[in-house]
Structure formats: C-alpha cells, structure tokens
Amino acid sequence: MNFSTLVDNLISDTVEVSLPLFVPELIVCATIVVLLTVRVFRLAEGLLLALALAALLIASGNDWLATPDQIALWIALAVLVVNRLVNTGRYSDPFVLALVGSLLAWWFAVPDGLLGNWTGVERQEIFTGMLVYDSFTVFFRMFLLAFAAWFVVLVRMTGLADREDGQDFYTLLLGATLGMCLMASANHLMTIFLAVEMASVPSYVMSGILKGRRRASEAALKYAVYGAGAAGVMLYGISLLAGLLGTAHLPTIAARLAEMDIPSLIASGESGGTLMVLALSALMIMVGLAFKLSAVPFHFWCPDVFEGASAEVDAFLSVASKAAAMALLVRVALGVSTAGEVNPEPPVAHRAVPAQAVSLLLSPDGEAASDFGELSRVAAAAPTLPTNAKSTPLSPVRSFIVQLLAVVAAVTCTFGNLTAYGQTNIKRLLAYSTIAHAGYMMMAVAAAVQLAGDNPDGARTAVAALVFYLGVYVFMNLGAFAIVAFLRNAIGSEEIADYSGLIRSAPVTSVMLTIIMISLLGLPPLAGFFGKLLVFYALVAASGPWMIALLVIAGINTVISLIYYLRVAKTVCIDPEPAARGPLSIGGLPAAYVFIVALPVVIYGIYPVPVQHIAEQASKYLLM
Amino acid sequence: MMPLFANILTEPVGVAHYLVVGAVLFVCGALCMATKRNAIGVLLGIELVLNGANLNFIAFGSRYLRDSQGTIGLDGQLMSLFVIVLAAAEAAVALAIALNFYNSFSSIDVDQADQLQG
C-alpha cells in the first residue's frame, strides 16, 4: 500500500463513514463559529445566513421538504433569519442562535426509533479508531445536547447571559458540551485527554463569568489550578500506559493486556516492575477521572466552586460534567478490561484504515507498510484466548479496577453525605449531594466491570442502571439549581435559613423543591427511588464480597442523607416566614420552567418504563 | 539504587534515559504545584508536568530508541503536539483567571483564596 492509497482510504473513510455519524458535533462547532463571528463582525451573520440558504437550496435540489431533517433545517434557518431581521442595526439575539444550534444538533443526535428499537447504532469506530460510535455514544450525545438546550433557556431566564455578553457565555457552554460529547465517545487515550480538557477549560471560565465578584474569581482560580494539575497527572499516567503497552487505542490496549497474561506474570513473580508501572499509570489516569467525577480524594474543588460560581453554572457542572465523566469512566473501565473475552470480533479497528496504519507505514523496517501483518497478529491473538471464567488473562485487570472503583465510590458516597450535614448554604449542600450521588453512580460502574468478564448481559444491565440514574438525576439537579437561581434573583440569598416559610409566598417552586429533595433522597414513588433501586439491583446481581459491602454502605448512606434533605424540605414547608422578608415574586415564567423540569421526577417515579427502555437501548451495543 | 544508576550511566542512551528526565520534570512540577503559593508558580508547575509527559511520548514514539514492536510511533509525536497546543490554550485561560483574581484580591497568592471553605 503506497501513500496515496492510504490518503485515499483515509479521505473516503472520513467523508463517507465518520462525518455522517458526527453531524451533531459539527452543528455545535458551526454554532460556535457563528456566535464568535457575529461577535466580531456584526454584518457577518447576514452573509452566513445567505450562504447557508444557498447551500441548503443546492443540497435539496428539487425536493425541498423531502425528509424530516430537511424540514428541521428549514425551520432553523427561518428562525435565524427572523432573529436577524427583527434586530436590524444591532447584535441579533445570541440566545436564539445558541438555542437553535443546540436544538438542531439534538435533532440530528436522536436515533431512529427513539422509543422503540434504536437502529443504526451498532458499534463502529470512526476517525480511524479515535472515537467510537455506538448506542452509548448516541444516548450521551442526545442527553448532553438536550441538557444544553434546557440550560440555554435557563441562563436566559435568570439573566446570567444577557444580550451584550451572551455570545461569550453560549460559546463557552457549547464548547464544553462539545468536549463532553467527545468524552462519551472517546476510544483513544489522546481523545480522552483532549476531550477532558475541552470540557474543563470552558468550565473554568464559566465558573468565573460573574465579573467583579470576589467569590466567583476565587472559585474560578481554584477550579483552574486544581483542574489543570489533575489533567497534568492524568496525562503523565497516559504517557506511561501508552508507552508500556505500545498503543493508545483502548481496544488494542485490552488486547495487549490480554497478551501480557498478567496472571502468569503474577504467578512467576517476575517483572514486578512492569505491573507496578501499570498500576501506577492506572492510578494516575484515575486521578484525572476522579477530579471530573468529584470523587474523594479529588472532590475538594467541588463545594468551593459550587459556592463561588453562580447557581446556573453549578447546574451545568453537576449534571453535564458529571454525566460525561461517568460515560468516560464506563468507556475506560470497560474498554481496557474486556476485549477478546466477550468480543468475538477483532478488537483492532477493522476498517479500511486501521488505527495505527500511519505509524506502521512510517515504521523503520519498511516492510510493515506493505501489509497489515502486525495488526492481524494483534487481532488474531484476542479471539484465541481461553474463555473460562476465572483464569482469563484480563481478570486481574478487572478485579484491580473493581476494587479501586469500589473503595473510591464507598468513600465518596459516605464523605459526601456526612459533610452535607453541617451546611447552611444551599449551593454547598447541593455540591456535597452531587459528590454523594457520584458515589452511587460509580457503584454501578464497579458492578458493570465485575460482571463484564463472564456475564456481558449483566454488565449491560448495570450500565443501564447508571444511565437510568443519570436520566432522572438530570431533572432533579437541573430543577434544584434552577430553583436556587430563581430564588437568588427574588430574595438575594442562598442560605437555607432564608428559605423558611417559602411555601406561603412561592407555592409551586417550594413544592417542586420539596419533591426534588425527596427524590434526591430516594423515597418512592419518585424517580430517584427507581434510580437507586436499579443500582442496588446491579450490585446484588454482581455479587461477591466487594459488591455486598458496597450495597450495605449505599443503604446506610441513604439513611444518613435522609436528615439533610428533609431539613431543607422542613425549612421551606413548615418553618414560619421571617417578618423581615418583604413580598416575594418569582414570576410566572420561572415557576413554569421549574414545574416543567421537575415534573418528570414525579411522572417517571410513577411510570419509569420510558426511561428504563431508553437506558436499555443505550447500553445495547456496549461490550460488542 | 546503585545498580539502577550504574546501568543508566554505562548503557547507551535509550528510552530509559528520556524517562528519567521526564520523571524528574514530573516530580519538579508536582513539587512546584504543591509548594508554590504564587498562582503563576503553580501554573509553571503544571507546565513542567505536561512537558514531562510530552518527553515520555516523544521517547516512546521514537524509532531510534525502541524497536518497531514496542514503539507507539507517530502517535507519540502527534500526542505531544496536541498537548503543546492544549497547554498554551490552558495557560491563556488560567492566566486570564489569575488576572481576574488579582483584580478582586490585589494579590495572586493562592493562600488568599480562603473565602470559600467549610
């Protein structure tokens, strides 16, 4: 194979296979470019719209409204043109741009047959193995983009992003969302690092977006310094792992680990150094992930940043950032610990241009360039591995990951719940609640890894439990932080004590806050209950001493969390109203927003089947 | 300890030598992050850590230091290029945040950042 064939393959692979599966991310990119261009050249928007109109006309030919996708594009373009025309002579509303961009991206991210059987979501590697596209990617992309659209509406309603500086905020928001979408589909150590940074760097700025506030600037500094430090440590771990195994492609890493045959290495007692470096690199990568997950002992930024940043940004960090970090954790933990055993296909990129083709082409001996001998050797090693349950080459990797995750999850959960007790600031309390929930979710990942070896269906159920948990967690936390933001605008305080007796002046908001608190606690019949139930069920299904210990700890934690969640509910509903507080108005629109966001907590508590179905579909092609 | 250093000093230059330099950079950076009280100093420490990792990538990717079986090839060099670009972006953002912090606190001492705790 000569160089031009390689380039031809690369181009055809990228244009014909990868890019069509990458459309939602491309739309987000285009929205960011438009937002920035409009910020710099006010006149550019009209030009860009004319270009888009021309492109759409040429692309559709004679069939204007042939497919739903085309109709969506036309509607989006019409909204943007109207937005441009009603704002002649000044900046057009960036809110409309951001909302149309994220909704359009969401539209293209929704799989065919959303509530039925998802089609076209089989696992395939795109961009020469850098990213992976499967039902899990599809779900998280849809989840994150839908959240971005809701969030754009929220920041507009609370006034955090106004007409003048809104472009900056929406650009950062969409940039972070893009990074999070990549986190959910990362399949290569480099994409993992790039995606984590793409998600983090805009978040640092967002947490300090309020100018002239001491607390916001302090929060941003702490977040940036800790975040960059954790990312640096993770990168060093990545360099060690990639160097040791000679690859950075996750399925190939799993194949190499299987080839190394760690059980016999341990038995022989030789190359203890290799194992030590492996464990060290795994721990270092875990530092970066734990920071994103706000898992103990890398949680300390979380309460400070949540208190200093505005409540809207907290909602973004506690939902989108956490969901993406969970998805990345699942990708890494299952990716490196399962190839070759449950996977009958060769784990290496099997398409026209495999992952390492470029490096092989330029390898010094020159003969590797002519064929894929090296690749097929690696690929062939995997399916011939012994498949009996206990002595598989990857079972030490799995048990290492399970124990690491189990310990971190148990400590995170307990720490979060115990520290939430003494909090008087609602944002700090919710920050510790976020930490505790990260612990519960990591338990599901630990169960999935434990089950991955000999029971892939069980592992998929455990991941489905995690996805369900996230699917209801988004409504609880977005609702809670939206309420905090609206109440801040109304009463100018974020102390729990100042919420006393709110039910008399703001009944809808208070009832919704109470419902959310009870759901976060996990009492039936609210949606949070089913989330916890499914996670606990996954732990039982995984069995083994570690999982039973986790189950007991999670149970005790739920009881501990009873007190502080109910204390908020009691303050809001039962305590007398302070005399000092004047008349209070939340406004009809904010109350409606809160109502709509929090309503699914009740609906999915009574009828959880749709979310459960989506969660099953989302994990359908994992481990394939 | 002694045999390790003796080996490194007597053997021809290989991956191990680069890894030692990378590890020294990493440790210096980590120490710098942990001990410096000046926000810019902490950012310098982060740069050292990133460059320690970069050196590892380059060494692991080099075909002169390892045979073609063990090397990560061009992946290593590409990764370090991406990291260099990313480090620049991150430094820009972190410096802007440090400036914003200075505007509020008239200092970039990270110990001053103690308004938020509990």
Q: Choosing among A6, A213, A239, A300, which should be mutated to test the B contact, i.e. which has the most B CBs within 10 A?
A: A239
Domain-embedded: residue A293: no
The arithmetic mean of pLDDT across residues A549-570, rounded, is 93
pLDDT at A501 (0 to 100): 87
pLDDT-based confidence at residue B69 (cuts at 50, 70, 90): low
pLDDT-based confidence at residue B63 (cuts at 50, 70, 90): confident
CB contact under 8 A, A303 and B116: yes
The DSSP secondary-structure symbol of A199 reads H
pLDDT at A65 (0 to 100): 72
Each residue's pLDDT tens digit, B86-98: 999 999 999 999 9
Among chain A residues, the shortest Cα distance to B74 is held by A359
Q: Is the dihedral of CA A202, A205, A209, A215 positive or negative?
A: positive
The least confident of A516-520, B10-14, B47-51 is: B10-14
pLDDT-based confidence at residue B6 (cuts at 50, 70, 90): low
pLDDT at A351 (0 to 100): 40
pLDDT at B62 (0 to 100): 86
pLDDT at A381 (0 to 100): 41
pLDDT at A68 (0 to 100): 83
- Could you list the beta-strand ranges (E) of B1-118: none
- Determine the Cα–Cα distance for residues A57 and A288; give it in Å rounded to an integer: 46
Count of all residues that appear for chain B in the document:
118
pLDDT at B5 (0 to 100): 61
Domain-embedded: residue A406: no
Residue A270 has pLDDT above 80, yes or no: no
Each residue's pLDDT tens digit, A123-159: 888 998 899 999 999 999 999 999 999 999 999 999 8
**pLDDT mean across residues, chain B:** 87
The least confident of A253-262, A424-433, A547-556 is: A253-262
Residue B48 has pLDDT above 50, yes or no: yes
Contact A199, A321 (CB under 8 A): yes
pLDDT-based confidence at residue A393 (cuts at 50, 70, 90): confident
The arithmetic mean of pLDDT across residues A338-351, rounded, is 47
Residue B4 has pLDDT above 70, yes or no: no
CB contact under 8 A, B79 and A190: yes
Domain-embedded: residue A505: no
The least confident of A60-64, A217-221, A385-389 is: A385-389
The least confident of A23-27, A397-401, A450-454 is: A450-454
Contact A303, A424 (CB under 8 A): no
Domain-embedded: residue A57: yes
List of residues 6+ apart from B103 with CB closer than 8 A: A212, A217
Among chain B residues, the shortest Cα distance to A300 is held by B117
- Determine the Cα–Cα distance for residues A188 and A183; give it in Å rounded to an integer: 10
Residue A14 has pLDDT above 50, yes or no: yes
Please state the φ and ψ torsions of residue A354, each to the nearest 5 degrees: -70, 170
Percent share of chain A, pLDDT over 90: 58
pLDDT at A26 (0 to 100): 94
The residue that leads in pLDDT, B19 or A211, is B19
Q: Choosing among B93, B105, B112, which should be mutated to test the A contact, i.e. which has the most A CBs within 10 A?
A: B93
- CATH number for B11-106 (one of 3.30.43.10, 2.60.40.420, 3.40.50.300, 1.10.287.3510): it is 1.10.287.3510
Query: Nearest CA to CA, how far is B66 from chain A (Å)?
Result: 10
Domain-embedded: residue A3: yes
Query: Nearest CA to CA, how far is B17 from chain A (Å)?
Result: 14
Query: Nearest CA to CA, how far is A41 from chain B (Å)?
Result: 23
Contact A152, A170 (CB under 8 A): yes
Percent share of chain B, pLDDT over 70: 91
The least confident of A74-78, A87-91, B47-51 is: A87-91
Among chain A residues, the shortest Cα distance to B105 is held by A214
CB contact under 8 A, A190 and B70: no
Contact A530, A608 (CB under 8 A): yes
Residue A82 has pLDDT above 80, yes or no: yes
Closest CA to A394 of A315, A456, A336, A309: A336
List of residues 6+ apart from A329 with CB closer than 8 A: A289, A293, A405, A442, A445
B74 contact A CB<8A: yes
pLDDT at A214 (0 to 100): 87
The residue that leads in pLDDT, A508 or A584, is A508
List of residues 6+ apart from A153 with CB closer than 8 A: A99, A593
Domain-embedded: residue A141: yes
CB contact under 8 A, A220 and B76: no
The arithmetic mean of pLDDT across residues A191-210, rounded, is 94
Domain-embedded: residue A145: yes
Query: Nearest CA to CA, how far is B73 from chain A (Å)?
Result: 5
Query: Nearest CA to CA, how far is B10 from chain A (Å)?
Result: 21
- Determine the Cα–Cα distance for residues A411 and A415; give it in Å rounded to an integer: 6
The arithmetic mean of pLDDT across residues A270-295, rounded, is 90
The least confident of A131-140, A477-486, A582-591 is: A582-591
The least confident of A218-222, A360-364, B84-88 is: A360-364
pLDDT at A259 (0 to 100): 86
> In the numeric block, which tokens belong to residue A467?
């996805």
Residue A213 has pLDDT above 90, yes or no: no
The least confident of A46-50, A160-164, A409-413 is: A160-164
pLDDT-based confidence at residue A616 (cuts at 50, 70, 90): very high
Query: Nearest CA to CA, how far is B94 from chain A (Å)?
Result: 6
Residue A305 has pLDDT above 60, yes or no: yes
The least confident of A62-66, A258-262, A427-431, A616-620 is: A62-66
Residue A316 has pLDDT above 50, yes or no: yes
In the A/B pair of chains, how many CB contacts fall below 8 A?
158
Each residue's pLDDT tens digit, A365-391: 433 333 333 444 444 444 433 344 445
Neighboring chain B residues of A205 at a CB cutoff of 8 Å = 93, 96-97
pLDDT at A571 (0 to 100): 92
pLDDT at A160 (0 to 100): 87
Each residue's pLDDT tens digit, A501-518: 888 888 899 999 999 999
Domain locations in chain B?
A: 11-106
Name the 3-class secondary structure at A602: helix
pLDDT at A282 (0 to 100): 94
Interface of B with A in 12-51 (CB under 8 A): 15, 19, 22, 26, 29-30, 33, 39, 42-43, 45-46, 49-50
Q: Is the dihedral of CA A440, A444, A449, A453 positive or negative?
A: positive
Residue A416 has pLDDT above 80, yes or no: yes
pLDDT at A376 (0 to 100): 40
Among chain B residues, the shortest Cα distance to A252 is held by B72
In the beta sheet, which residues pair with residue A249? A188
pLDDT at A161 (0 to 100): 81
Residue A267 has pLDDT above 60, yes or no: yes
Percent share of chain A, pLDDT over 70: 91
CB contact under 8 A, B71 and A246: yes
pLDDT at B3 (0 to 100): 55
**pLDDT mean across residues, chain A:** 86
- Classify each residue of A214-245 as buried b or exposed e, where b means 16 or more C-beta atoms within 10 Å of its C-beta: bbbbbbbbbbbbbbbbbbbbbbbbbbbbbbbb
pLDDT-based confidence at residue B32 (cuts at 50, 70, 90): very high
